[in-house]
Chain A
Amino acid sequence: MLAFPIVLIMILGTALTNAFDQQTVAVGEVHVLYKDKVDGAFSEGFKTFAKEAKTSGVHFKKILSDTDGKQEIKQGNYDAYLEIENSGIKLYQMDKNSMKNSIIQGMLTAFANRYNAAQEIIKAAPEQAGAVLGDIPGDHYIKETSLSSDRKPNSMDYYAVTMTTLIALYSALSASYLIRGERLGKTADRLIAAPVHKGEIFAGKLIGNLVTNGLCIFAVVIFSKYVFKAYWGDHLALVAAVLFSIVLFAVCLGLGVSYLTRTGEAAVAIINVLIPLVAFFGGAYFPVEGAEGVLALIKDLSPLTWTNEAIMNIIFADDLAAGLPVILLNIGLSLLFLLIAVVSLQRREGL
């Protein structure tokens, strides 16, 4: 249990070093054509915004009267075409998923939000409007976050996280054997015959398994941190909490499946099919990008996807808010599986 993730981190982290070389993607200049159909504050605000955007490499050009804006973007002369009206801004683009168009959409949304905010402020305190719409030193419409953070995960960092969460998920296998092992070893009868409530036996087994797997995960983290020099960030307590939540989820999953299936073999088979699938789409072996349709759905349903993403965000983007939703989600699902196990235990004679 301990050696497996450590060996995997070492092998994958070493073998796939080149795959995690830090690369930059050049987006290039962004050219946007626009038609201003209105006058007044909105138009003025947009002009200020267009001027500011130029510093970020986004160039807005007012359309000539005889030019067809939509035709221009079809021909690829511009990246987007805008029509500014009293009711708002209409945006025309060819490829909605390209990086350039994402930048334009983001900037326009930021501008619209700010303009709307200013309108509300003007109603309440007109003297403050300039502070919102005017030039603010250091103001941006594009906020750079993790994409240009000081540190990006190298292969060892990546596999330290993904292998640890993968092994945490494999706790389901040992958990599925927790009660079944007592039945198979015939010790279940002796336990039930003892003056101990079966709820206590169940809780004892659950807590014991959680502690064992939790300690194992802790050991993997410490080993990868100090021996492989994997980077676990500055918020280790929060990372540990997320890791413990996935251990809890895995243990409850294993228990739930063991009570849902008639035989131990069936429980093991289900877990042995489920975990590799969840691991593959959850990015345990390599980052899964660009998945669409069913594959994207499977990826999103993988507990490793949300757990790995949260841990990566905490470690590499100092995004502490990423931890709590995942912890709550993992605990919620754990309670669901635990409920299945407890209800089955109560209905069953014996363990």
Chain B
Amino acid sequence: MNVLEIHHLTKKFGDFVAVDNISLSIEEGEIFGLLGANGAGKSTTIHMISSLLRCNEGEILILGKNIAKHRKFAKMNIGIVPQDLAIYEDLTAYENVKFFAGLYGLRGAQLRNRVEEALQFVGLSDKHKSFPKNFSGGMKRRLNIACAIAHRPKLIIMDEPTVGIDPHSRNYILESVKKLNAMGCTIIYTSHYMEEVEEICTRIAIVDHGKIIAEGTKEQLKSIITNTKDIQVVLKSAENVDIGELKTISGVEAAALEDNTIKINSDAGVNNLNQIIEKLMKNGAEIRSLEEKAPNLETVFLTLTGRQLRD
């Protein structure tokens, strides 16, 4: 059964088309990754699914019901973990979860049980009387999740839930996502961290300029670029490196610089390694290591969009 179906969804802000005729469906039990650079249209899509924005064209079905006609039903079945922390600093952790769960009609003992359950799930039971202002970034992120799951939604939308937190909290959240999924929740997950998406998502859509340009499992996406090889060059310093110059080398499809590392996607049939090294040396770069890797999701993204996820 499809938990979510989107048909020809379009959203315009004035003349700007933020989401352009998107269609997709997500089955029950999936962890669906939405990948896209800033401004690609993924947040707008998420906002329309969660009723924060109205679409100009198209329709969204939650559990088979059109959200325009069954808005309350749709909202009851969706939990949203916004990218920005959406919690009240002047309420305790318990009060925060209780307040938001109360908006979904939970009352009395059922409300108390669900709040305790949600706090326990995110590992904040012992901090239920504490105020978020005393929490670390990771703990706040976990409370943000607890506020979204206490009413036991069928579909949980997580928009960058691991932004700006320590590795320990990130692992905790990723494990929580897997656990929620195991408990029967369907999840839409967006992240700038490709390795997270690769680790937990069962299916992925790549969004660029408001359109879905690729969709499928990790393997299906990687198969799109079987003719591509992924070259990674680590430099001592990338000060004088001209990325544009590298793109002129025969076979190079995309190149991007991140810190002192250059990531190049090249046609697997073209032997251009010597030319790449030569160009870099000419620019005065000191090569620390050079590696030719099998394509990963990042390679797929770079190849399809011509830019890195964090651009």
Among the listed B53, B71, B85, which residue makes an inter-chain contact with A186, where contact means beta carbons less than 8 Å apart?
Answer: B85
A294 within 8 A of B: no
Stretch of B74-82, B266-274, B298-306 on the interface side: B74-82
Residue ID in chain B nearest A191 by CB atoms: B103
The size class of the interface chain A forms with chain B is: 10 to 19
Whether the Cβ atoms of A192 and B85 lie closer than 8 Å is: no
Task: Return chain A residues, CB-CB under 8 Å to B89.
Answer: 185
Task: Return chain A residues, CB-CB under 8 Å to B75.
Answer: 193-195
B72 within 8 A of A: yes
Whether the Cβ atoms of A193 and B80 lie closer than 8 Å is: yes
Whether the Cβ atoms of B52 and A185 lie closer than 8 Å is: no
Whether the Cβ atoms of A185 and B86 lie closer than 8 Å is: yes
B219 within 8 A of A: no
Whether the Cβ atoms of B52 and A189 lie closer than 8 Å is: yes
B120 to chain A, nearest CB (A): 21
A196 within 8 A of B: yes
Complex interface residues of chain B between 95 and 117 (CB less than 8 A to chain A) = 100, 103-105
B84 within 8 A of A: yes
Complex interface residues of chain A between 326 and 351 (CB less than 8 A to chain B) = 349-350
Whether the Cβ atoms of B84 and A186 lie closer than 8 Å is: yes
User: A32-63: contact bitstring with B at CB < 8 Å (1 yes, 0 no)?
Assistant: 00000000000000000000000000000000
Interface SS of B by simple majority: loop
B307 to chain A, nearest CB (A): 27
Bound-complex Cα distance A185 to B51 (A): 19
User: A130-144: contact bitstring with B at CB < 8 Å (1 yes, 0 no)?
Assistant: 000000000000000
Instruction: Tell me which of B47, B52, B72, B105 has the highest count of chain A C-beta atoms within 10 A of its own C-beta.
Output: B52
Bound-complex Cα distance A29 to B10 (A): 86
B54 within 8 A of A: yes
Task: Return chain A residues, CB-CB under 8 Å to B82.
Answer: 186, 189-190
Among the listed A186, A187, A192, which residue makes an inter-chain contact with B51, where contact means beta carbons less than 8 Å apart?
Answer: A192
Bound-complex Cα distance A349 to B51 (A): 9
Task: Return chain A residues, CB-CB under 8 Å to B100.
Answer: 190, 194
B147 within 8 A of A: yes
Complex interface residues of chain B between 41 and 93 (CB less than 8 A to chain A) = 47, 50-54, 71-72, 75-76, 78, 80, 82, 84-89
Bound-complex Cα distance A196 to B71 (A): 10
B158 to chain A, nearest CB (A): 13
Residue ID in chain B nearest A181 by CB atoms: B88
Q: With A190-B147, A349-B54, A350-B52 given, is the CB distance from A195 to B85 under 8 Å?
A: no
Bound-complex Cα distance A193 to B157 (A): 11
Bound-complex Cα distance A187 to B82 (A): 9
Task: Return chain A residues, CB-CB under 8 Å to B54.
Answer: 349
Whether the Cβ atoms of B72 and A195 lie closer than 8 Å is: yes
Q: With A192-B52, A195-B103, A349-B54 given, is the CB distance from A187 to B72 under 8 Å?
A: no
Known: A190-B86, A193-B51. 10 other contacts (CB 8 A): A189-B50, A189-B52, A189-B80, A189-B82, A189-B86, A190-B82, A190-B148, A192-B52, A193-B50, A194-B100
A sample of 24 inter-chain contacts (CB < 8 A) reads A185-B86, A185-B88, A185-B89, A186-B85, A187-B86, A189-B80, A189-B86, A190-B82, A190-B100, A191-B103, A192-B51, A192-B52, A193-B50, A193-B51, A193-B52, A193-B75, A193-B78, A195-B72, A195-B76, A195-B103, A195-B105, A196-B103, A349-B54, A350-B53
CB-CB nearest 3 A-B residue pairs: A194-B103, A186-B84, A195-B75
